Amino acid sequence: MKRFFTLLLVLAGSLNALMAQKTYPRGLVLDDEAYEKMPMKAVLTKGSYDNLAKFISYEAYCPPVMNQDSYGTCVGFASTYYMRSILEKIRQKQNPGSSVAFSPSYTYAKIKESSDLECQQGGKLMDALFSLKTAGAPLYEAFPYPNCENVSVELDEQASTHKIGDVVRLFGPLAPSELKIKALKKALSDGYPVVIGMRTPLSFFAIQNVWQPAPGDEKTPVMDSGHAMCIIGYDDTKYGGAFRIVNSWGNQWAEAGFCWVRYKDLAHYTLYAFQAFPDFNAPVESVTTPLKGKLNLQLREGTLMRSRQALQKGLVLTDDQPLDVTIYQLSESYSEGTAFKAFITANESAYVYMIGTDTTFQMNQLFPYTSSISPLLGPNNTVAYPSDNKSITLDHTTGTDYLIVLFSKKPLDFGRVMSQMKQSTGNLSSRLAVALKGDLISDRQIQYNPNEPAFEVAAKASGSVVPLIIAIDHQ
């Protein structure tokens, strides 16, 4: 009997503590269907995850921790105040302690429902990130927090100069925890913070330094616990491996507004994750963003298919010299049934597209392999076509086959490019010149590697697209 009353006292004490526990506002509106419509980052090769740094931190680039108070504005803070501000400091290589910050109120005002006059109803991460891509965000001082008013035309003009370049989701809603952890760590290793939508049960309110999920957290209704935050780093040695998060609940919460969440816990409770990229073409005097990449072919058993450089002249589009395009010719001929795979590496962030064709110039889209996959790759990202575990097999049609990879500093209308290449006349160089016109960087401004299909071009070269082409003598 004594043990029974002791148990009751313990339960009563825990209940009283839970009821007395300070609670915080959230504000993430969940929408799995909208999340799945966002383009997803391509699956990278297994080797892309090797040798990741054991520790990454962007905490020094964070603006001062703020409190969203009683408003449902976490989405504005996670996406704009934290992620967008950190992205800008990194992009401009600013002193980490500089005061640049962007307005969370502006982003929330752009995405909220018209009936949400008091900033209470919350918003969707997808809408906030789309707003950053299309509308941008003004500096914090131009529209300080809190502010639930509608934004002005003048404010829109200020915001338009601070857009992000693009955004990709990192995994699907049913992705296993191991894949989530690798994708998050790789995105952070690419040089950018990550925005997440996460379930935050009551135990999340009481964090001291690392979150300890409590029994019963699984029963917390998903729709009532959605919260947006920004991951600013990770450390393999902390608590068995943990992500570093900055929150919008003020500096009295957890470790002055920051906390650690173990890898497995964050993967389990995170529903959405996004990697945003800066505008690669935004003018920054102190920053150069070169275009750099390579394309390697390997036989199924792993042998490298070696190649040699050649030059193909194209048609004259201006009064200048004819457009020349460097083509790599495989050193050996290959017959029907040869199985191989292509490895595409973007050494700097780039939009990457791959086409397969031959002397009939029928164009086949190879990468991105579906419309749901983004062509945007981060720095030192490698994708395999068809995949790490599958190969391309040469068919019975002999002749010259071409694999064309386009590396671009801006998104391309890929369907239009392939259509124009198919419908125009002349050799491959001429067709590329017609399809890409002023976007194609001159061969004279590209430094091609003589030993492998690889290139580098200075950031200030005119144009935005570099073709990397391998010709296969198909016997």
Q: Which tokens sit at 226? A: 């959605």
Distance CA 451, CA 453 (A): 7
- Would you list the domain boundaries of the chain? 39-277, 291-474
Contacts of residue 163, defined as CB under 8 A and 6 or more positions apart, other chains included, come to 132, 133, 134, 135, 136, 279
Helices 414-423 & 428-436 angle (0-180, nearest 10) = 140
Contacts of residue 9, defined as CB under 8 A and 6 or more positions apart, other chains included, come to none
- Residue 315 pLDDT: 47
- Residue 155 pLDDT: 97
Contacts of residue 189, defined as CB under 8 A and 6 or more positions apart, other chains included, come to 52, 53, 56
The residues pairing with 258 across neighbouring beta strands, listed in sequence order, are: 246, 255
Helices within 93-243 (DSSP H only): 104-111, 125-134, 153-159, 177-189
Which DSSP string corresponds to 209-228? Answer: SB--PPTTGGGS-GGGTEEE
Which DSSP string corresponds to 293-321? Answer: EEEEEEETTS-B--EEEEEEE----SSSP
Spell out the per-residue pLDDT of the chain, length 475, in tens.
Answer: 444 333 333 334 443 444 446 789 999 999 999 999 999 999 999 999 988 999 999 999 999 999 999 999 999 999 999 999 999 998 887 667 678 999 999 999 999 999 999 999 999 999 999 999 999 999 999 999 999 999 999 999 999 999 999 999 999 989 999 999 999 999 999 999 999 999 999 999 999 999 999 998 887 777 678 999 999 999 999 999 999 999 999 999 999 999 999 999 999 999 999 999 998 766 554 445 678 999 999 999 999 999 999 876 654 444 454 567 889 999 999 999 999 999 999 988 999 999 999 999 999 999 999 999 999 999 999 999 999 999 999 999 899 999 999 999 999 999 999 999 999 998 898 899 899 988 999 888 899 999 999 999 976 788 899 999 999 999 9
3-state secondary structure of 42: coil
Question: Strands 324-330 and 465-474, how do they pair?
Answer: parallel
Contact 272, 292 (CB under 8 A): no
pTM: 0.91
3-state secondary structure of 412: coil
Nearest to 330 by CA among 401, 241, 243, 232: 401
Distance CA 109, CA 139 (A): 14
Helices 104-111 & 125-134 angle (0-180, nearest 10) = 110
- Residue 9 pLDDT: 36
- Residue 412 pLDDT: 96
CATH superfamily, with its number, for domain 39-277 = Cysteine proteinases (3.90.70.10)
H or E stretch including 86? helix 85-91
The residues pairing with 356 across neighbouring beta strands, listed in sequence order, are: 364, 403
8-state DSSP, 291: E
Q: Cite the beta strand spans of 50-143 per DSSP E.
A: 55-57
- Residue 3 pLDDT: 40
Distance CA 472, CA 327 (A): 11
